[in-house]
Structure 1
């Protein structure tokens, strides 16, 4: 499913936080949002998963206005893992993951055998099946994150939105979780820096459609973003400042201007993906402002 963000802006308390951002995620593609803290990434994502209504612009799924959709219909198509989980009651992990099936059930219907099988598979995919009977509030931060990702997977969405999904995870778990975004996507076995993945939008839709859902994710770790994303959108001061394949976007000049660091580009010895080594600039370049 194609995700389009068209000229989206967000005003909060009389201040514009996001300025006229346009983004296209072709079907089955993994699109990363990167930028400094406070740049507007989470605000943009909140509009995409309907926690916030944009002041201007539109979010479309295969051309249909997401904010005009019925809530249940939208939830069958799009799932989200926000930074804040908002869970105050001590549900079991199995109960949390089962909430992902609610958009597919009629009324307040009971979970079917098929629903339970979907939930079990989702927990297995994130390596959390052993937590099924544990109380959610008693879990570690990393365990909670994996459970919330399992809930989103159980929703069986066609578009998946994740805001910093690797928070609280150790490095092995980070690689496992981001690897899930590529699950079943055979053409992605190669490098994120491979220029063959940076073709036309039409071609991207064809190559991505064989895999899992379309993914839009905000990531802090630029090296993880370079390896696991088909395209990156760089946001600073609420504005889009660059977009394209990681090896085109993550240039030393951009990283100095946006992040205030000196970057050295190297290639991963196996995948060939762009990897970055950082130094502090003697006098960091000013970040783009709104």
Structure 2
């Protein structure tokens, strides 16, 4: 399923957080949003998963405006993992994952054998099957993140929106989660903080600064030393991964400029 964000603008309390932003995620692609803190990435993603209504513009799934879909129909097509998730306290990990099946259930909310099988499989796919009976609030940050990703997978969406999905994960878990997301066959739009992870896993990158797209293309084309100096204020050295050939970055501070 293709995701199109068309000329989206977001104004909040007189401040323009997103300014006439347009991007596309083709069906089955993993598209990354990168940019400095406060650049508008999370604000844009909140519009995509309908936690925030844009001031102008449209967001479409295979040409259908999201605003025309009911909450249930939207949730059958698109799942999201925000930076901060609340409301799961008091539930077990298995119960949290089962919430992903709600859009597919009848008004009675009865859980079927198929629902249970899908939830069990989702927990296993993210390496969290052993957490099923644990209370969600007792889990570590990384464990919670894996459970929430399992919930999104159990929802069986066509589009997955992720806001910093590797937060709280150790290095091995970061690599495993992004590989899992990539292999799921979904259209994925993800805000990523780690540029090296973005370079390895994303098909296409959009660089956001000041609420606008300042560059887009493949990681190799986008992550240039010149752009990284302008947007992130760092000096970057590009190297090739010895096995995959993907561009990887080494960073240091920009030289101080003379007064």
- Using the size of structure 1 for normalisation, the TM-score is 0.87
Matches within 5 A, 1:125-274: 125-183=125-183, 212-274=185-247
RMSD: 0.9
Deviation string 1:261-287 (CA, Å, 9 cap, x unpaired) is 000000000000000000100238xxx
Equivalent position of 2:43 in the other structure: 43
- The 8 Å contact of residues 234 and 251 in structure 2, kept in 1 or not, is answered as yes
The question of whether the paired residues in 1 share the 8 Å contact of 2:78 and 2:157 is answered with yes
* Alignment partners' CA distance in 1, 2:180 and 2:44: 23
Give SS of 2:168's match.
Answer: coil
Deviations, residues 93-135 of structure 1 (Å, cap 9, x unaligned):
0100000000000113211000000000100010000000000
Q: For the residues of structure 1 that align with 2:39 and 2:6, how far apart are their CA atoms? A: 18
Give the SS at the match of 1:75. helix
Write the distance in 2 (CA, Å) between the matches of 1:278 and 1:2.
34
Runs of 4+ aligned residues of structure 1 deviating over 2 Å after TM superposition are none
Looking at structure 2, the residues matched to 77 and 24 of structure 1 have their Cα atoms a distance apart, in angstroms, of: 16
Q: Is the 8 A contact 2:32 2:205 kept in 1?
A: yes
Structure 2: how far apart are the matches of 1:142 and 1:149?
A: 11
| 1:87 CA displacement | 2.1
Aligned to 2:213, what secondary structure does the other structure show? strand
Paired residue secondary structure (1:182): helix
Cα distance in 1 for residues equivalent to 2:256 and 2:45? 32
Q: CA offsets per residue over residues 212-246 of structure 1, 9 Å max, x none?
A: 11000000000000000000000011111000000
Name the count of aligned residue pairs: 257
Q: Counterpart of 1:34?
A: 34
Q: CA deviation at 1:74?
A: 0.3
Distance of 1:141 and 1:154 partners within structure 2:
20
In structure 2, the residue matched to 1:207 is none
Structure 2 gap ranges (5+): none
1:23 pairs with 2:26: no
1:1-150 counterparts in 2 under 5 A? 1-87=1-87, 89-150=89-150
State the alpha-carbon separation in 2 of the partners of residues 228 and 74 from structure 1. Answer: 26
